[in-house]
């Protein structure tokens, strides 16, 4: 592959002395410029659906820090909304959705063919970004994985243990499976449209994969990821795909081979030396600094960056956090992380 984009080089299997870096949730409430643009948009969903402003907040961390990749500003809960769920955000609390607990509720969802009526502004954001991003910056599109998105659609909110989704899986498997299937089809359509609009990499966030175990993990995290990735590869063979089965632990072993993902994002609860040996042996990995270091900083931050860089130094590695940066993070610590990595 002939490209100057370090992120794409690593995703093609190259090992670089200084890994490319970007950060989950790099556009967000820890940045004063984000808060200002969000206030201008009115609320979070209006910001997501305003291509000019969504492109602006995507670019803010690139301007401030020169990250090697930009991630499209949107949310995983736009897909439920596009399928007909009610979605709103309660300030200081988080997302709220209409719930799905019966065949009747499921029956109210719309067809995948209609989702672009809601999602077309997102493709516009990507087109704006393609013309405004620096030549060396890779543009990442994304979606939530079916299980993670289903946990919000079933419970109507974020839940600590995904209890309502597990309950529906046990009590009404037909509705549960139909919901996973609908989200899977919508995700294939949505990510394919993001790639057609100009996303150079896509990432599938299975943020709650860790609450699935054994058969359920294979059926509801691995199998949908495999189906999404093989459908995308059939249409867009050259677009790399990052999978993030967060909390997967040992189940990260072989996940790339089993699903066709080009890269596995590793959370902060997974030891970097272990991941180098058992996951990076199969291909590129991304991760895995604990986001808390963006709050606490100091020498511990620098030491951790260097430890993780060293652990993954013998194979393709994209530096990132193990999960999203939190709103209480100090923007100066982000710069310290980048300096420690590029030192
Ligand atoms: O740089 C960026 O911020 C990229 C855009 C982005 C991404 C990739 C946002 C903006 N959200 C996401 C993904 C996302 N959204 C995930 C997967 C990644 C992860 O695990 O963090 C999840 C689970 C969501 C759902 C969601 N949206 C939550 C979590 C709710 C819970 O269960 O606790 C929250 C708080 C949101 C709102 C949201 N999305 C994005 C931002 C910046 C915000 C904060 C909204 C605000 O401005 O108040």
In the chain the domains, ranked by start, together with CATH numbers, are 6-342 (3.20.20.210)
Distance CA 295, CA 291 (A): 8
Six-digit token string for 288: 């895995």
φ, ψ (nearest 5 deg) of residue 298 = 70, -165
The question of whether 75 is a catalytic residue gets the answer yes
What pLDDT is stored for residue 4 in this prediction?
Answer: 86
Average per-residue pLDDT in the chain? 97
Cβ(146)–Cβ(209) below 8 Å: no
Q: What is the largest CA-CA distance in the chain?
A: 57
The reported pLDDT for the residue numbered 2 is 60
Average of per-residue pLDDT across 6-26: 98
How many angstroms does the Cα of residue 152 sit away from the middle of ligand 1? 12
Ligand 1 pocket test: pick from 71, 76, 133, 191 the residue with the most ligand atoms within 8 Å of its Cβ: 76
Residues 61-118: pLDDT tens digits?
Answer: 999 999 999 999 999 999 999 999 999 999 889 999 999 999 999 999 999 999 999 9
Cβ atoms of residues 149 and 115 within 8 Å: no
What are the DSSP calls for 275-339, one per residue? HHHHTGGGS-EEEEE-TTHHHH-HHHHHHHHHHHHHHTTTS-EEEEESSPPPTT--HHHHHHHHH
Between the CA of residue 265 and those of 205, 241, 256, 322, 330, what are the distances in Å? Answer: 9, 10, 10, 8, 24
Residue 127 pLDDT more than 80?
A: yes
Residue 110 Cβ inside 6 Å of ligand 1? The answer reads no
Nearest atom of ligand 1 to the alpha carbon of 144 = 17
pLDDT confidence of residue 321:
98
């Amino acid at each position: 592959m002939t490209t100057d984009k370090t992120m794409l080089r690593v995703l093609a299997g190259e090992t670089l002395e200084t890994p490319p870096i970007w950060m989950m949730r790099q556009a967000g409430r820890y940045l004063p410029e984000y808060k200002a643009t969000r206030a201008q948009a009115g609320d979070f969903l209006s910001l997501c659906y305003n291509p000019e402003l969504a492109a602006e907040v995507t670019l803010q961390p690139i301007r401030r820090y020169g990250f090697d990749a930009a991630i499209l500003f949107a949310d995983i809960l736009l897909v439920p909304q596009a399928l007909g769920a009610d979605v709103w955000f309660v300030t200081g609390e988080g997302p709220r959705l209409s719930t799905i607990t019966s065949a009747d509720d499921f029956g109210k969802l719309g067809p995948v063919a209609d989702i672009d009526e809601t999602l077309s502004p997102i493709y516009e954001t990507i087109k704006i970004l393609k013309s405004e991003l620096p030549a060396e910056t890779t543009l990442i599109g994304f979606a939530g994985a079916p299980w993670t998105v289903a946990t919000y659609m079933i419970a109507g909110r974020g839940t600590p243990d995904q209890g309502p989704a597990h309950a529906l899986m046990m009590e009404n498997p037909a509705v549960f499976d139909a919901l996973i299937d609908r989200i899977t089809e919508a995700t294939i359509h949505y990510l394919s449209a993001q790639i057609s609009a100009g996303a150079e990499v896509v990432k599938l966030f299975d943020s709650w994969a860790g609450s699935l175990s054994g058969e359920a993990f294979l059926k509801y995290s691995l199998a949908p990821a495999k189906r999404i990735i093989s459908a995308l590869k059939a249409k867009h063979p050259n677009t790399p795909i990052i999978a993030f089965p967060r909390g997967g632990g040992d189940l990260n072993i072989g996940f790339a081979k089993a699903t066709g993902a080009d890269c596995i994002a590793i959370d902060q609860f997974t030891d970097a030396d272990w991941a180098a040996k058992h996951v990076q042996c199969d291909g590129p990995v991304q991760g895995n600094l604990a986001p808390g270091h963006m709050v606490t900083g100091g020498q511990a931050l620098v030491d951790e960056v260097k430890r993780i860089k060293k652990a993954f130094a013998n194979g393709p590695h994209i530096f990132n956090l193990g999960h999203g940066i939190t709103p209480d993070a100090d923007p100066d610590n982000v710069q310290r992380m980048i300096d420690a990595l590029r030192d």
